[in-house]
Amino acid sequence: MREVEHEITVAAPAEAVYRFIAEVGNWPRVFPPTVHVAHLERGEREERIRIWATANGEPRTWTSRRTLDPERLRVGFRQEVSTPPVAAMGGTWVIEPEGGARCRVRLLHDYRAVDDDPESLAWIDRAVDRNSRSELAALKAGVERATTAKAADLMLSFEDTVRVDGSAEDVYDFLNEAHLWEKRLAHVARASLTEDEPGLQTLEMDTRTADGSVHTTRSVRVCFPHERIVYKQTGLPALLSLHTGHWLIRPDGGGVTVTSEHTVAVDPDGIASVLGGEAGVAGAKAFVRKALSGNSTATLGRAKEYAEGKR
């Protein structure tokens, strides 16, 4: 069993850092590897969660049990069934106050590889090291930003909705079959979809913008048949530092209501290169909303045509 430790100092009260770690619903917005988290069981001190995330750039999913200890500022975790090459994985978040508005965060892991294979263990070593460093840096940045108004200024959430006189199954098929979007959607120049595990997809897409240029994005998608598709962009355009969202399909009498929801964070360092030196955060947010909403509305419209054409 390998045991490793990573740590970082955060300029924030220990209790605030604990809350960020304990409240897993915000993890996709805080931790770069995390795509989606769902509670399977939830108690006051113990919970069972399913996590979809990337390891060495590859999508993975697992179920973990967590023990919450707000008095000692600790969160323990243990994977129930690990994904090969991991045979077992667990650890603890430890938050240690350092006086004032500062604390030290230690992230402990213990793990072993399937059949104790050396190559697999080396792969896990790299994944744990990369994700731990990424998660701790993101935690530090997220908590420290949350204490300023600037963080909220950079965030934007919005949605677009359409009603479809068709079935949830047909709408879902259109959204799920993203590899066909380059033939079905005018703004998609290229779409490449891989799905090594059912319901866990990686989508790489070239999107045409209003000025005719093309940019490439990469997303991990978690698919819940006929209900929703949750995604997170792991390869972002220059203007964004975060983009998560979902497609939600809700039965509505004789049809369905389909919603596209986006949560994004503008990267202030990318504004000038994309929009020019005179542009500010407000202009960047307006630009992003118009572009993403335009593409979502077009996709929803084509999904509506597809599903209603099946009736």
Model confidence over 92-146: pLDDT tens digits? 999 999 988 899 999 999 999 999 999 999 999 999 999 999 999 989 988 887 7
Q: For the chain, how many structural domains are there in total?
A: 2
Predicted confidence (pLDDT) per residue in 235-276, tens digit = 999 899 999 999 999 999 889 999 999 999 999 989 999 899
What is the mean predicted confidence (pLDDT) over 283-309?
A: 96
The C-alpha torsion from 23 through 25 and 28 to 32, rounded to 10°, is: 20
Residues 110 and 202 in one domain: no
Q: Helix axis angle, 14-22 relative to 118-146, nearest 10°?
A: 120
Residues 173 and 29 in one domain: no
Predicted confidence (pLDDT) per residue in 53-86, tens digit = 998 888 999 999 999 999 999 999 999 988 899 9
Q: Cis ω on the peptide bond leading into residue 28 (within 30° of 0)?
A: no
* Six-digit token string for 75: 């969160």
191, 205 contact by CB (below 8 A): yes
Check which CATH number belongs to the domain holding 32 and give it: 3.30.530.20
Residues 275 and 257 in one domain: yes
The pLDDT value given to residue 150: 64
Is the pLDDT score of 149 beyond 60?
A: no
Cα 267 to Cα 48: distance, rounded to the nearest angstrom: 34
Residue that terminates a domain, selected from 116, 147, 178: 147
Cα 82 to Cα 164: distance, rounded to the nearest angstrom: 40
Residues 96 and 162 in one domain: no
| pTM, full prediction | 0.87
Residues 298 and 165 in one domain: yes
Cα 119 to Cα 216: distance, rounded to the nearest angstrom: 32
